[in-house]
Amino acid sequence: MLGGERLADPYPYFAHMLAEHPVHWNERYRAWFLHKHADVLWALRNPAFSSDRVRPVYETHLSEEKRAARAPTFDVLRHWMVFLDPPEHTRLRKLVMPAFSPKRVATWRPRVEQVVKETLAGLEGRERFDFVTDFAYPIPAIVVAELIGVPAQDRDLFKKWSDDILTLVFGAQGEPGRRELAQQGLVELTGYLRDLVAKIRRDPGDDVISSLVTAHDVEPPLDDQEIIATCALLVFGGHETTTNLIANGTRQLLRHPEQWRLLREEPERITTAVEELLRFDGPSRLEQRLLAEDVELRGKTLRKGDNVFLVQSAANRDPEVFDRPHELDITRQPNNHVAFGFGVHHCLGNFLARLEAQVAIPAVLDALPDLALDGPEEWHTTMMSRGMKRMPVRRGAVS
Edge-to-edge strand list for the sheet holding 372-373: 128-130, 392-394, 372-373
More confident residue, 341 or 396: 341
Looking at residue 2, what is its pLDDT? Answer: 59
CA distance 9 to 268: 29
Can you give the residue ranges of every domain in the chain? 5-394
Q: pLDDT tier at 58 (50, 70, 90 boundaries)?
A: confident
Q: Are strands 31-34 and 307-310 parallel, antiparallel or unpaired?
A: parallel
| Under 8 Å between Cβ of 286 and 311 | yes
Quick one: CA dihedral 191, 195, 201, 205, positive or negative?
negative
In this structure, are residues 161 and 191 in contact, taking their beta carbons and an 8 Å threshold?
Answer: no
pLDDT-wise least confident of 8-12, 162-166, 332-336, 352-356: 162-166
Split at pLDDT 50, 70, 90, the class of 171 is low
341: amino acid identity, one letter: G
Please give the pLDDT value at position 81: 95
Q: Once rounded to an integer, what is the mean pLDDT over residues 314-325? A: 98
- Residue range 125-148: mean pLDDT, rounded: 94
What does the alpha-carbon distance between residue 108 and residue 85 come to, in Å, rounded to a whole number?
30
Task: Compute the distance between CA of residue 180 and CA of residue 368 in angstroms, rounded to an integer.
Answer: 41
Whether the pLDDT of residue 280 is over 70: the answer is: yes
Average pLDDT over residues 315-341: 98
Dihedral angle, C-alpha 242, 243, 244, 247, nearest 10 °: 120
| Average pLDDT value over all residues in the chain | 92
Q: How many CA atoms lie within 13 A of 139 on its CB side?
A: 39
Looking at per-residue pLDDT, the higher value among 153 and 210 belongs to 210
pLDDT of residue 162: 83
pLDDT for residue 149: 92
- Please provide the CATH number assigned to the domain covering 5-394: 1.10.630.10
Mean pLDDT of 288-310: 97
| Mean pLDDT of all residues in 244-248 | 98
pLDDT in tens, 64-81: 998 998 888 899 999 999
pLDDT band at 163 (very low <50, low <70, confident <90, very high): confident
Tell me the percentage of the chain whose pLDDT exceeds 70: 96
Check whether 1 has a pLDDT greater than 60. Answer: no
Q: Which of 23-32, 54-63, 215-224 has the highest mean pLDDT?
A: 23-32
pLDDT band at 215 (very low <50, low <70, confident <90, very high): confident
The whole-number pLDDT of residue 237 equals: 82
Q: How confident is the model at residue 236 (pLDDT cuts 50, 70, 90)?
A: confident
Per-residue model confidence as pLDDT tens digits over 89-109: 999 999 999 999 999 999 999
For residue 271, is pLDDT > 80? yes
**Helix, strand or coil for residue 333?**
coil
Q: Is 305 a residue whose pLDDT tops 90?
A: yes
- Banded model confidence at residue 398, pLDDT cuts 50, 70, 90: low
pLDDT higher for 168 or 392?
Answer: 392
Considering Cα of 204, then 205, then 208, then 209, what sign does the dihedral take? Answer: negative
The pLDDT score that the predictor gives to residue 174 is 56
Burial class (CB in 10 A: 0-12, 13-18, 19+), 259: buried
